[in-house]
């Protein structure tokens, strides 16, 4: 081991001092300032840092299942940002605190656009079959609900999410399927059925969605001839046999006190996968201590080294309902009647509120590269408290107001008589 001895956090603190002395900052963007539309380097770096902090907040809230886990913090942040554009008052403040949306209002949405545009520029000049990163945003509403023009223009300008009209009341299931099909198409078929059955009905006010699809070839691919079934030991100590890739090459790598880390770049060398391998018996402690700042520091300390690399092939999907997770982070008011989204409709009646936050991810890693996809959808609901729809039997009373005398009392079981 060539890393200095000492606890994990002390080691990272020392590495941070070296990084600061060498670069003057912890986060560097490869894109020049002139190429960053609508936002300067410092503002964009701050946005990235907040999204990365959100990544670990989400991870910690979702990692207690004992199962594989994949979350796309950028997808969640972008989808939530479109709802945030219509939030006001305490609802807005809670969203900002939970999601790291602390920017001046005039800067926030241009900064999100700048980040999305920068991400979409990655892989320029690379063949589509070697590197592809796609991001898309969608917005669906109904003709019979009011929407502020300013809100719709903001979504179209900064998120490319022009309003698409659907008949939520007359065709709820068809509306759900249409939105799910759009999400499936945008993710190469890897995120099907994001919105669950029954989540759209006559009281659905608005649906917002974001998708991310990455398909990238390794810069240094594994030779399938050297992929064999090898033993993989699970956290409970039980061994299983899994197809495992193997190769020897120069990679950026470092061995720390309790773990190893390596960078596997994709074609174009603008996006990489980083693997962090805790020592036996140290997974829980390494996982618990790692955060966005420490990750940036340790990855910046990797050095090019000739190594033998052995990595299992893997593929899985994760599905989440994020309402409880976001509530745990402090975003509470947005999910109940009384939420303040008056920036969407201009009506201060405690509606709409968010009733669905669906998030689904997929990843597959093999000898040739990685395919990963994510979809996030938010549905906003008006609720039956604001509507009286007599589509079933009801009672009625005809009452004299001055005296309170009931003149007639009856019921309607069949309006036809």
Sequential DSSP letters for 128-195: TTTEEEEEEEEEEE-TTS---HHHHHHHHHHH---EEE--TTT-HHHHHHHHHHHHHHHTTTSS---S
Q: What is the pLDDT of residue 405?
A: 52
My answer on whether 37 and 138 are in the same domain is yes
List Cα–Cα distances, 212 to 188, 270, 363, 372, in angstroms: 10, 17, 12, 8
Half-sphere exposure of 254 (CA within 13 A, CB side): 17
Confidence at residue 346, expressed as pLDDT on a 0 to 100 scale: 84
Instruction: Name which residue leads in pLDDT, 312 or 384.
Output: 312
| CA–CA distance, 373 with 184 (Å, rounded to integer) | 10
Q: What is the pLDDT of residues 293-322, one digit of tens each?
A: 888 898 889 999 999 999 998 888 999 999
- pLDDT of 407 above 60: no
Residue 242: give its domain's CATH number. Answer: 2.30.39.10
pLDDT at 223: 95
Instruction: State how far the Cα of 230 lies from the Cα of 327, in Å rounded to an integer.
Output: 42
C-beta atoms surrounding 381 within 10 Å: 21
In a domain, 136, yes or no: yes
- For residue 403, being part of any structural domain is answered with no
pLDDT at 80 over 80: yes
Query: Are residues 362 and 266 part of one domain?
Result: no
84 located within any domain: yes
Global pTM? 0.85
pLDDT of 351 reads 80
Q: What is the pLDDT of residues 43-75, one digit of tens each?
A: 888 888 999 999 999 999 998 888 888 999 999
Task: Please check whether residues 322 and 348 belong to one and the same domain.
Answer: yes
Are the C-beta atoms of residues 132 and 123 closer than 8 Å to each other?
Answer: yes
- Higher model confidence: residue 407 or residue 152? 152
Lowest mean pLDDT among 24-33, 230-239, 386-395: 24-33
Residues 376 and 348 in one domain: yes
Q: What is the mean pLDDT of residues 228-247?
A: 89
pLDDT confidence band for 399 (50 / 70 / 90) = low
C-alpha closest to that of 325 among 58, 93, 74, 68: 58
3-state secondary structure of 381: strand
| 192 and 248 inside one domain | no
pLDDT (0 to 100) of residue 401: 64
Query: Are the C-beta atoms of 358 and 196 separated by less than 8 Å?
Result: yes
- Mean pLDDT, range 243-256, rounded to an integer: 92
Domain assignment present for 3: no
Distance CA 244, CA 366 (A): 9
Query: Average pLDDT in the 94-110 region?
Result: 86
* pLDDT reported for residue 328: 97
Interatomic CA distance for residues 103 and 258, integer angstroms: 37
Please report the pLDDT score of residue 234 as a whole number: 86
3-state DSSP helix/strand/coil % of the chain, to nearest 5 = 35, 30, 35
Instruction: List beta partners, residue 406.
Output: 399
Both 336 and 243 in a single domain?
no
Are 354 and 377 in contact by the 8 Å Cβ rule? The answer is: no
Rounded CA gap, 6 and 363, in Å?
35
Per mean pLDDT, which range of 163-177, 282-296, 401-415 is the poorest? 401-415
Q: Which two tokens stand for residue 414?
A: 């069949």
Contact 190, 373 (CB under 8 A): yes
Q: What is the CATH number of the domain that holds 164?
A: 3.30.497.10
Q: What six digits make up the tokens of 198?
A: 């029954």
Structural domain includes residue 409:
no
The neighbour count for residue 406, using CB atoms within 10 Å, is: 10
Residue 402 lies inside a defined structural domain of this protein: no
Q: Is the model's pLDDT at 355 over the cut of 80?
A: yes
Domain count, the chain: 2
DSSP lists the bridge partners of residue 249 as 307
Clarify whether residues 53 and 202 are in a common domain.
yes
- What average pLDDT does range 204-230 have in this prediction? 94
Does the pLDDT of residue 84 top 90, yes or no?
yes
Residue with tokens 């320029």: 124
Residue 139, burial from CB neighbour count under 10 angstroms (0-12, 13-18, 19+):
buried
Average pLDDT value for the chain? 83
- pLDDT beyond 50 at 1: no
Same domain? For 180 and 296 the reply is no
* pLDDT tens figures, 107-144: 899 999 999 998 998 877 778 789 999 999 999 999 88
The answer to whether residue 414 sits within a structural domain is: no
Q: How confident is the model at residue 21 (pLDDT cuts 50, 70, 90)?
A: very low
Range of the domain at 106: 33-217+315-386
Whole-number pLDDT of residue 41: 81
Q: Same domain, yes or no, for 14 and 139?
A: no
**CA dist list (Å): 338 to 333, 334, 379, 382, 386:** 7, 8, 16, 11, 12
pLDDT score for 389: 44
Give pLDDT, residue 396.
Answer: 54
Q: Which of 172-186, 224-238, 402-416 has the highest mean pLDDT?
A: 172-186
Note whether 364 and 259 are same-domain residues.
no
More confident residue, 332 or 392: 332
Judge if 263 and 357 occupy the same domain.
no
pLDDT of residue 9: 35
3 state SS of 211: strand
What pLDDT does residue 30 have? 35
Local confidence band at 23 (pLDDT 50, 70, 90 cut-offs): very low
Q: How many other C-beta atoms are found inside a 10 Å radius of the C-beta of residue 379? A: 24
- Residue 148, pLDDT > 50, answer yes
Q: In this model, does residue 32 exceed pLDDT 90?
A: no
pLDDT at 43: 84
């Amino acid at each position: 081991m060539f890393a200095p001895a000492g606890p994990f956090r002390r080691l990272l603190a020392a590495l941070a001092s070296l990084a600061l002395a060498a670069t003057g900052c912890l986060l560097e963007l490869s894109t020049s300032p002139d190429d960053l539309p609508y936002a300067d380097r410092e503002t964009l770096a701050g946005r990235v840092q907040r999204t990365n902090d959100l990544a670990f907040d989400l991870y910690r809230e979702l990692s207690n299942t004992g199962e594989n886990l994949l979350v796309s913090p950028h997808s969640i942040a972008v989808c939530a940002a479109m709802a945030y554009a219509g939030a006001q008052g305490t609802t807005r403040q809670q969203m900002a605190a939970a999601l790291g949306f602390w920017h001046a209002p005039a800067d926030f949405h241009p900064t999100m656009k700048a980040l999305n545009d920068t991400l979409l520029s990655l892989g320029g000049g690379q063949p589509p079959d070697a590197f592809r990163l796609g991001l898309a945003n969608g917005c669906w509403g109904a003709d019979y609900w009011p929407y502020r023009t300013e809100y719709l223009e903001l979504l179209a300008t900064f998120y490319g999410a022009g309003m698409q009209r659907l008949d939520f009341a007359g065709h709820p299931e068809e509306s759900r399927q249409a939105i799910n099909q759009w999400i499936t198409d945008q993710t190469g078929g890897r995120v099907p059925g994001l919105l669950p059955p029954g989540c759209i009905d006559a009281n659905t006010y608005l649906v917002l969605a974001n998708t991310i699809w990455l398909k990238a070839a390794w810069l240094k691919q594994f030779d399938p001839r050297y992929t064999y079934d090898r033993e993989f030991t699970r956290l409970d100590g039980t061994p299983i046999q899994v197809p495992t890739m193997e190769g020897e090459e120069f990679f950026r790598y470092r061995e720390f006190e309790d773990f190893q880390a390596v960078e596997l770049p994709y074609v174009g060398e603008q996006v990489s996968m980083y693997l962090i391998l805790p020592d036996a018996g140290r997974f829980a402690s390494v996982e618990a201590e790692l955060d966005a700042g420490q990750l940036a520091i340790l990855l910046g300390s990797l050095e090019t080294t000739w190594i033998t690399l052995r990595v299992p092939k893997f593929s899985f999907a994760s599905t989440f309902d994020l309402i409880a997770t976001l509530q745990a982070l402090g975003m509470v008011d947005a999910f109940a009647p009384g939420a303040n989204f008056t920036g969407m409709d201009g009506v201060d009646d405690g509606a709409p509120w968010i009733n669905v936050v669906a998030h689904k991810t997929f990843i597959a890693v093999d000898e040739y590269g990685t395919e990963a996809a994510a979809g996030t959808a938010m549905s906003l609901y008006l609720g039956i408290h604001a509507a009286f729809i007599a589509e079933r039997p009801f009672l009625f009373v005809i009452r004299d107001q001055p005296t309170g005398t009931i003149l007639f009392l009856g019921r309607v079981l069949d309006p036809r008589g």
